[in-house]
Amino acid sequence: MSETPRSVPEPMPVDDGLNLDGLDFEHALDRLEGVVERLESGELALEEALAAFEEGVRLSRRCAEQLGAAERRIELLVEEGGSDAVRPFDPDGDDED
């Protein structure tokens, strides 16, 4: 049985000096998804794969930082009566207070 050739995403140029400071969450996540696709394709040479992995780690850390900052902002918004009481997020919306 012959395998159907997979479409390999175009390689993105490796940017060792990638400035993540101005990169918003959505763009960082999109770029991270592209890196993962390239790595999963199995078509990268070893050095390209290592460079892509390093970029992915930097992007992953950037996304985690931004999610942490968003979580802290939400915690501040739900402060009750000036106290530091933070309610855990309830995805079902059940408020048992």
Report the domain count for the chain.
1
Going by pLDDT thresholds of 50, 70 and 90, the confidence category of residue 73 is confident
| Rounded mean pLDDT, 59-86 | 82
Asked whether residue 12 is domain-assigned, the answer is no
| % pLDDT > 70, the chain | 63
Per the structure, the complete domain to which residue 72 belongs is given by: 25-77
d(CA 50, CA 8): 18
> Is pLDDT larger for residue 76 or for residue 82?
76
pLDDT at 56: 97
For the ranges 15-29, 56-70, 79-93, the lowest mean pLDDT is seen at 79-93
pLDDT at 31: 96
**Cα dihedral value 32, 40, 15, 24, nearest 10:** -10
Asked whether residue 14 is domain-assigned, the answer is no
Whether residue 8 is predicted with pLDDT greater than 50 in this model: the reply is no
d(CA 56, CA 20): 12
